[in-house]
Amino acid sequence: NRDFLIAPSILSADFARLGEEVDNVLAAGADIVHFDVMDNHYVPNLTIGPMVCEALRKHGVTAPVDVHLMVKPVDRLIGDFIDAGASYITFHPEASEHIDRSLQLIRDGGCKAGLVFNPATPLAYLDYVMDKVDMILLMSVNPGFGGQAFIPGTLDKLREARRRIDASGRDIRLEIDGGVKVENIAEIARAGADTFVAGSAVFKAGSDSDPHRYDSVMRDF
């Protein structure tokens, strides 16, 4: 009876037409907008920040915006993204000096808070903060780029994360990010994920000129 959410990652969208891209993917059935923030320091790539989030809100996007911070340091950007209209804010625990404080800053700002785990980052970071977490995001690729292949060992890690969530009795979303395709999403769901990020699988679908190009991939998900 778990509800599933699809979160297209705008990292693979056409940035020159971002508002339209987000409108089209939401019209095709996307539930939340996954917003990848990269700083050329914590990860070797540079993307978008709070001004772009604010611009999407001004454009009229009302769907939840799921801000995935791949930045170091973390805390200063939390306030900026709260002001810019973020719904979820997640960060990598290794990138924060004070994990509990960063989670609390996000919650104090009225957003949902989450931790992101790289493929080799242990879930033990959750041990003392489970009560401050609304989302757990497992990376199934190393962060920094779209279009990489799903790392199969993530399935066991999903099962472990699902056990931790069930044992906590709390309402915590379990999100997966990296290499999610129509071909593997069922297996990923069976391992316990309920929220699915997909970048290249969505935004590289169909032909550029077709305004309904995302309909069929969203239906297949």
Q: Does 104 bind ligand DX5 (CB under 6 A)?
A: no
**Cα(2)–Cα(51) distance, integer angstroms:** 34
| Per-residue contact flags (x/-) with ligand DX5 for residues 200 to 219, judged by CB under 6 A | xx------------------
- The CA angle 56-67-23, to the nearest 5 degrees, is 35
| Per-residue contact flags (x/-) with ligand DX5 for residues 139 to 158, judged by CB under 6 A | --x-xx-xxx----------
In whole angstroms, the minimum distance from the beta carbon of 148 to ligand DX5 comes to 5
For residues 129 and 151, which CB has a smaller minimum distance to ligand DX5 in the complex?
151
**Cα(198)–Cα(102) distance, integer angstroms:** 26
Beta strands in the chain (DSSP E): 5-8, 33-38, 65-70, 88-91, 112-117, 135-139, 173-177, 195-198
Token digits for 139?
């990376």
User: Which listed residue (14, 31, 36, 208) is catalytic?
Assistant: 36
- Annotation says 36 is catalytic: yes
- Annotation says 31 is catalytic: no
- Residue 28 binding: pick among ligand DX5, Zn ion, none (C-beta 5-8 Å cut-off by kind): none
Q: Any known ligand binding at 87?
A: no
Residue 24, Ramachandran bin (φ over 0: left; ψ between -120 and 50: alpha; else beta) = alpha
Instruction: Check: CB of residue 69 under 8 Å from CB of residue 77.
Output: yes
Q: Does 135 bind ligand DX5 (CB under 6 A)?
A: no
Q: Does 66 bind Zn ion (CB under 5 A)?
A: no
Q: Does 175 bind Zn ion (CB under 5 A)?
A: no
Q: What number of other Cβ atoms are within 10 A of residue 62's Cβ? A: 9
Binding residue ranges for a divalent metal cation: 34, 36, 68, 177
Site residues (vs ligand DX5, CB under 6 A) = 9, 11-12, 34, 36, 68, 141, 143-144, 146-148, 177-180, 197-201
